Amino acid sequence: MIQAIAFYLFAIIVIGSAAMTISSRNPVHSVMWLILAFFNAAGLMVLVGAEFIAMLLVIVYVGAVAVLFLFVVMMLDIEVAQLRAGVARYAALGLALAVALAAEILIGIGAWSAGGLKISQRIAPIDGNVPNIQAMGQLLYTRYLFVFEAAGFVLLVAMIGAIVLTHRQRGGVKGQNISRQNARRPQDATRNVQPPVGQGVQL
């Protein structure tokens, strides 16, 4: 009972916020609605027992992707009227895509009710009582340790690459030198002056 209520709650909010994402006038509001949709999709994932994917949705999509969207949207100067004109221009293409997606869903449901595709058995089926985050963690840091470490190297290469290709030394920038700041004594930085009455301070 409680599952059903939670499901309908999450599902309705996902659909509603998705509709708001494409219909809202302000692009920043669109991104906010998108984040709400992500959160509720994560809730749906928890309901079907895929808590790892739920975590990923929140961490990766809400934490990184949506924030990135938000930055991009805030930096762009988006003319809503112009976008509206675009909608009319690409309506036919969008409609065709929507029809294709709907057809795929229908075919998928039809094939599913006719019985699943016969693909191979899993070599190592997961024990139903182990939560899937735990199952994944156990494999990731033991059996697949080698590949996991290598994936770390891939990220290191990406980082080095980004710095090599974009970093440049710029002149005329005031950098902070903490040891020099700490070594500075009051007598070097300040001086006592006694300005005569009626005159300002000569700096």
Partner 1 sequence: MDYAANLAMTLPEVILGVGAIVLMLVSAWGGSASTRAVSWTAVAVLAGACLALLGPASYGGSAFDGLYRADAFAAFAKVLIFIASGVAILLAPDFFQRTTGDDLRPEYPVLILLSAAGMGMMVSASDLLTLYVGLELQSLAAYVLASFMRRDTRSAEAGLKYFVLGALASGILLYGISLVYGFSGTTLFGGIAAAYAAPHSLGLLFGLVFVFAGLAFKLAAVPFHMWTPDVYEGAPTPVTAFFASAPKVAAMGLAVRVAVEAMGPATDQWRQIVIFAALASIVLGAVAAIGQTNIKRLLAYSSINNVGFALVGLAAGTPEGVSGVLIYMTIYIAMTLGSFLIVLQMRDDDGQPIENIAALSGMSRTRPGLAAALAIFMFSLAGIPPLFGFYAKFAVFDAAVRAGLFPLAAVGIAASTIGAYYYLRVVKTMYFDDPAPAFPKGNSPVEGGLIVLTAAFVSPLGYLAIPLLGGWTMTAARALFPAI
Note whether 156 binds partner 1 by CB under 8 A.
yes
DSSP string of 74-89, one letter each residue:
HHS---HHHHHHHHHH
Note whether 164 binds partner 1 by CB under 8 A.
yes
Residue 77 or 149: the one with the smaller Cβ distance to partner 1 is 149
Note whether 120 binds partner 1 by CB under 8 A.
yes
**Residue 102 amino acid letter:** A
Which residue from 19, 141, 151, 184 is in contact with partner 1, where contact means CB under 8 A? 151
Residue 5 or 123: the one with the smaller Cβ distance to partner 1 is 123
- Give CA–CA dist 150/145, Å, rounded: 9
59: its two tokens: 């961490």
Within 13 A of 198's CA, how many CA atoms are on the CB side?
Answer: 0
Backbone conformation region of residue 202, classed left if phi is above 0, alpha if psi is from -120 to 50, else beta: beta
Which residue from 118, 170, 185, 191 is in contact with partner 1, where contact means CB under 8 A? 118
Residue 165 or 197: the one with the smaller Cβ distance to partner 1 is 165
> Smallest distance from the beta carbon of 117 to partner 1, in angstroms?
8
**Residue 11 amino acid letter:** A
Query: Applying CB under 8 A, what is the total number of residues that bind partner 1?
Result: 24
Binding mask 63-102 for partner 1 (x = CB under 8 A): ----------------------------------------
Residue 73 or 136: the one with the smaller Cβ distance to partner 1 is 136
Is 10 in contact with 56 (CB distance < 8 Å)? no
104: its two tokens: 């795929």
Is 21 in contact with 30 (CB distance < 8 Å)? yes
Which residue from 165, 183, 197, 203 is in contact with partner 1, where contact means CB under 8 A? 165
**Residue 68 amino acid letter:** L
Residues that bind partner 1 (CB under 8 A): 118-123, 143-147, 149-151, 153-154, 156-158, 160-161, 163-165
